[in-house]
Amino acid sequence: MILTALSAKTNADTENTGVRTRLLGSHNDWFVPGLYKNELRRTWSAGLLFAIILFFALPVMNLMVFSNRENSFENHPEYVLDYLRSFFSTANPFITVYACLGGMFCAMVVAEYLYDRRKTNFICSLPVKRQAYLLTKAAANLTWSVLAWVPSIVLMLLVALLTGTMRPHTGLVIGGCFVLMASWFCLHLYFFGLTLLACSFCGTGAMGGCMLLMLGGYIPVTVLSLLGLADMTFSNINTSYYLSEEFFSSISGVFRIFARIAYMKSFWFLLGCAALGLLLAAAAVWLTVIRRSEKAGTPFAFDRVRDIVKYLLMGLAALLGGMLFEAMSSGGWSFIWMLFGCICGAVLCWMLCNTIFYKTPKMMFEGKRGMVILTVCLMLFSGLSRFDILGLDNYIPSTVMTNRIELQNRDMPLTIRDKSLVRMFNAMAKNGQTLYEKYGPAATYRYPTDKYMYDYENWSTEEIPQMIDIGCTVWKTNYLVPIAKNIDMLYSDWVKFVGALTAREDFADVYFEAAFDALERAERAMPDSTYYARVYHNARLAQSKGLDANGNLTAAQLRHVLEVYREEMRAMGADAMQQMYSGTFYFHLDNDYFEFPMYAAYDGVADAIREVFNGSAMDYTNYSYEKNFVRAEVYYRGRVIGSLTEAELTALVAEGAISGQYNTYDTPLTLVEPDYAVEVQYRVTETETYYYAVDYEGKGIAYETVGNSSGDVSTSEYDEHVSAAFFWGCVPAEFQQ
Partner 1 sequence: MNEQYTPFTGEISIKNVTKTFGRVRSLDNVTATIRQGSIFGLIGSNGAGKSTLLRIMAGIYRPDTGSVSYDGEDIWENTARKQDIVYLSDDQFFFTHGTIEDMANYYRQMYINWSDEKYERLRAVFNLETDRKISTFSKGMQKQASVLLALSCCPKYLLCDETFDGLDPVMRQFVKRLLAEEVADGTMTPVIASHNMRELEDICDHIGLLHKGGILFDREVDAMKTSIHKVQMVLPGEEPDLGSFRTPEGKSLHVVSYKKSGSVLNLILRGEREEAEAAVKAKNPVFYELIPLTLEEIFICEMEEKGYDFNSIIG
122 CB-contact burial (10 Å; exposed 0-12 / middle 13-18 / buried 19+): exposed
What is the nearest approach in angstroms of partner 1 to the Cβ of residue 357? 12
Q: Which is nearer to partner 1, 138 or 215 (CB)?
A: 138
Dist CA 450 CA 338 (whole Å):
41
Q: Which is nearer to partner 1, 284 or 296 (CB)?
A: 296
Q: How far is CA 733 from CA 396, 640, 679, 730, 736, in A?
A: 61, 14, 20, 9, 5
What is the nearest approach in angstroms of partner 1 to the Cβ of residue 119? 5
Point out which residues pair with 632 in neighbouring strands. Answer: 644, 680
> 554: which residues sit within 8 A by CB, 6+ positions away?
none
Q: Which is nearer to partner 1, 294 or 548 (CB)?
A: 294
The neighbour count for residue 656, using CB atoms within 10 Å, is: 24
657 CB-contact burial (10 Å; exposed 0-12 / middle 13-18 / buried 19+): buried
- In 3D space, the residue among 357, 355, 348 whose CA is nearest the CA of residue 303 turns out to be 357
Dist CA 632 CA 676 (whole Å):
13
Q: Which is nearer to partner 1, 290 or 376 (CB)?
A: 290
Amino acid at 270: L
Q: Which is nearer to partner 1, 2 or 390 (CB)?
A: 2
Helices (H) and strands (E) in the chain, counts: 29, 14
Q: Which is nearer to partner 1, 128 or 221 (CB)?
A: 128
Dist CA 584 CA 581 (whole Å):
9
- In 3D space, the residue among 629, 638, 734 whose CA is nearest the CA of residue 691 turns out to be 638
What is the nearest approach in angstroms of partner 1 to the Cβ of residue 168? 49
Dist CA 317 CA 394 (whole Å):
28
DSSP structural state of residue 127 = S
Dist CA 633 CA 720 (whole Å):
21
Point out which residues pair with 499 in neighbouring strands. Answer: 514
Per 3-state DSSP, the chain is made up of helix, strand and coil in percentages (nearest 5) of 60, 10, 30
Q: Which is nearer to partner 1, 118 or 637 (CB)?
A: 118
The residues binding partner 1 (CB under 8 A) are 1-3, 5-6, 8-10, 12-13, 15-16, 19-21, 23-25, 27-29, 32, 34-35, 37-38, 41-42, 116, 118-122, 124-130, 292-294
Q: Which is nearer to partner 1, 13 or 734 (CB)?
A: 13
Q: Are 597 and 715 in contact (CB under 8 A)?
A: yes
What is the nearest approach in angstroms of partner 1 to the Cβ of residue 307? 14
Dist CA 392 CA 277 (whole Å):
38
Dist CA 181 CA 146 (whole Å):
8
What is the nearest approach in angstroms of partner 1 to the Cβ of residue 126? 5
What is the nearest approach in angstroms of partner 1 to the Cβ of residue 192? 23
What is the nearest approach in angstroms of partner 1 to the Cβ of residue 141? 16
What is the nearest approach in angstroms of partner 1 to the Cβ of residue 118? 4
Dist CA 637 CA 674 (whole Å):
8
Q: Which is nearer to partner 1, 27 or 610 (CB)?
A: 27
- In 3D space, the residue among 583, 713, 590, 697 whose CA is nearest the CA of residue 657 turns out to be 713
Q: List the strands of the sheet with 581-589, edge to edge.
A: 546-548, 581-589, 592-599
Q: Which is nearer to partner 1, 13 or 455 (CB)?
A: 13
What is the nearest approach in angstroms of partner 1 to the Cβ of residue 366? 11
What is the nearest approach in angstroms of partner 1 to the Cβ of residue 145? 21
Q: Which is nearer to partner 1, 17 or 330 (CB)?
A: 17
What is the nearest approach in angstroms of partner 1 to the Cβ of residue 280? 23
